[in-house]
Amino acid sequence: MEAPLEQIDISVSDDIAALFKLLYNHGINSQPEQWQRVIFNIKPSGQFSINFEKDNEDDVDA
């Protein structure tokens, strides 16, 4: 069984934070998919991933 991932706070420069904010705004506001949230993962090595998500409307009771 895999150990749960540990979440730690890391510092990023203002420039990097601004780039993530730009990607977030573009993904949330400018795309037809109507993303509702974004998950940023940054590894200590500097690698990062960005996942845009939206609620699954099939799971919502009418």
Residue 53 is encoded by which pair of tokens? 């998500």
- The answer, as to whether pTM is greater than 0.85, is no
Q: Which residues contact 28 (CB under 8 A, 6 or more apart)?
A: 35, 36, 37, 38, 52
Asked if the structure places residue 26 within a domain, the reply is yes
Contact 55, 36 (CB under 8 A): yes
Pairing of strands 37-42, 48-53: antiparallel
Asked if the structure places residue 62 within a domain, the reply is no
Give me the average pLDDT of each 10-residue run along the chain (62 residues). Answer: 70 85 79 77 81 70 46
Residue where the block lists tokens 């991932």: 5
* Count of domains observed in the chain: 1
pLDDT of residue 62: 43
Return phi, psi of residue 52, to 5°.
-95, 140
pLDDT of residue 49: 86
| Residue range of the domain that includes 44 | 14-55
